[in-house]
Amino acid sequence: MRIRFTKMQGAGNDFVVLDETRGPLGLTSLQYQFLADRHFGVGADQILSVRPSPSEGVDFQYLIHNADGGEVEQCGNGARCFLRFVREHGLTTQDAVRVQTLSGVIEPRLSDDGRVTVDMGAPIFETARIPFDAAGLDALPDGGWETWHLALSTKPEHAIVPFAVLSMGNPHAVQIVDDIETAPVAEQGPLIEHHPRFPQRVNAGFLQIVDRTHVRLRVYERGAGETLACGTGACAAVVAGIRLGRLDARVDVETRGGILTIEWHGVGQPVQMTGPAITVFEGEIDVP
Ligand SMILES: N[C@@H](CCC[C@H](N)C(=O)O)C(=O)O
């Protein structure tokens, strides 16, 4: 099957975007993996599918597949690219759209400076909804909130690590580190992603707090490995930092691929994420 695609990136988190507004392409998990493959396919951290509105009150539906072919609930950097895509392809003339994802409705809108701001909805803290299996564990009080202390393996060199756990529609475990350059992202990332306490696996954030309005972040993403930026990871890290009393309500997040600005005003409030969304190229590819 030959398909048209658009390659996009948001702060270096890169995507293959597919227009499925005229009908689903019916791709299999292996075909998503092929598209994401950097040697044999196009290359991407995630594949984003743009579908027509599934119900009244929303403009589009948004499907997300990780590079490993698995479908997931949410993708923040992708949401900004989604708005850029539907505008550039004449699918809408609106500056803001309501988009149905697996985990609820999000609202990307164009900012005056050309970046895109997304209302990502309110973070979720109930352990069962993250999902995080807290049976038999005690949350330890930390800066007005709590962290969970998890052993990453039985190896003595894998110390017990305090994590803030929450969902931005997708699951995140955030740890605070002294310096993201030396943080054990490659070593700990897979252990955290597959930790048995996270039945749906988890995205692993490594957060360095520079000051109350500026952090540095690396994320080892579920189903994709370390990416240059993770939008939901940035939201989760800032929300965690705010609840732990370490950050103000508006924070610039420095990732390896660019800056994301995250704003959050407390439990029950939606997280606003602002950042770039860029089209890289378009093409066609034969998908086996
Ligand atoms: N890159 C994304 C997150 C994509 C999904 C994630 N890997 C998951 O499995 O939940 C972002 O920008 O949020």
Structural domain contains residue 250: yes
Q: Does residue 28 sit in the same domain as residue 132?
A: no
Q: Does residue 70 sit in the same domain as residue 141?
A: no
Query: Distance between CA atoms of 51 and 102, rounded to whole angstroms?
Result: 13
Q: Does residue 70 sit in the same domain as residue 134?
A: no
Find out whether the beta carbon of 13 lies less than 6 Å from any atom of ligand 1: yes
159 has a pLDDT exceeding 90: no
Structural domain contains residue 141: yes
Q: Does residue 139 sit in the same domain as residue 258?
A: yes
Q: Does residue 142 sit in the same domain as residue 219?
A: yes
pLDDT given for residue 253 in this prediction: 98
Name residue, tokens 């609106």: 94
Q: Does residue 105 sit in the same domain as residue 151?
A: no
Find out whether the beta carbon of 167 lies less than 6 Å from any atom of ligand 1: no
Q: What is the arithmetic mean of pLDDT over 129-141?
A: 95
Q: Which residues neighbour 38 within 8 Å (Cβ) at sequence distance 6 or greater?
A: none
Pocket test for ligand 1, best of 232, 239, 262 (most atoms within 8 A of CB): 232
Query: To the nearest whole percent, how much of the chain has pLDDT over 70?
Result: 100
Q: Does residue 105 sit in the same domain as residue 169?
A: no
Structural domain contains residue 251: yes
* Domain of 104, in residue numbers: 2-117+276-286
Structural domain contains residue 38: yes
Q: Which of 112, 56, 116, 106 is nearest to 85 (CA)?
A: 116
157 has a pLDDT exceeding 90: no
pLDDT given for residue 286 in this prediction: 98
Q: Does residue 36 sit in the same domain as residue 67?
A: yes
Tokens found for residue 223: 């189903």
Helix (H) or strand (E) holding 233: helix 231-243
156 has a pLDDT exceeding 80: no
Q: Does residue 88 sit in the same domain as residue 207?
A: no
Per-residue model confidence as pLDDT tens digits over 253-283: 999 999 999 999 999 999 999 999 999 999 9
Among the listed residues 75, 217, 228, 237, the single catalytic one is: 75
Distance from the alpha carbon of residue 156 to the mean position of ligand 1, in angstroms: 31
Query: Distance between CA atoms of 234 and 120, rounded to whole angstroms?
Result: 11
154 has a pLDDT exceeding 80: no
Active-site residue flag, 75: yes
Per-residue model confidence as pLDDT tens digits over 207-258: 999 999 999 999 999 999 999 999 999 999 999 999 999 999 999 999 999 9
Find out whether the beta carbon of 101 lies less than 6 Å from any atom of ligand 1: no
Q: What is the arithmetic mean of pLDDT over 146-152?
A: 95
Query: Distance between CA atoms of 247 and 280, rounded to whole angstroms?
Result: 34
Give this complex's ipTM.
0.99
Query: Distance between CA atoms of 262 and 239, rounded to whole angstroms?
Result: 9
pLDDT given for residue 198 in this prediction: 98
Among the listed residues 230, 239, 253, 271, the single catalytic one is: 230
pLDDT given for residue 158 in this prediction: 73
> Residue 180 to residues 91, 207, 254: CA-CA distances in angstroms?
40, 7, 11
Q: Does residue 263 sit in the same domain as residue 136?
A: yes
Query: To the nearest whole percent, how much of the chain has pLDDT over 90?
Result: 96
Find out whether the beta carbon of 103 lies less than 6 Å from any atom of ligand 1: no
pLDDT given for residue 128 in this prediction: 97
Burial of 235 (0-12, 13-18, 19+ CB in 10 A): buried
Q: Does residue 66 sit in the same domain as residue 28?
A: yes
Global pTM value: 0.97
Structural domain contains residue 122: no
Domain containing 71 — which CATH number? 3.10.310.10
How many domains are contained in the chain? 2
66 labelled binding-site residue: yes
Q: Does residue 239 sit in the same domain as residue 153?
A: yes
Find out whether the beta carbon of 231 lies less than 6 Å from any atom of ligand 1: yes
pLDDT given for residue 155 in this prediction: 78
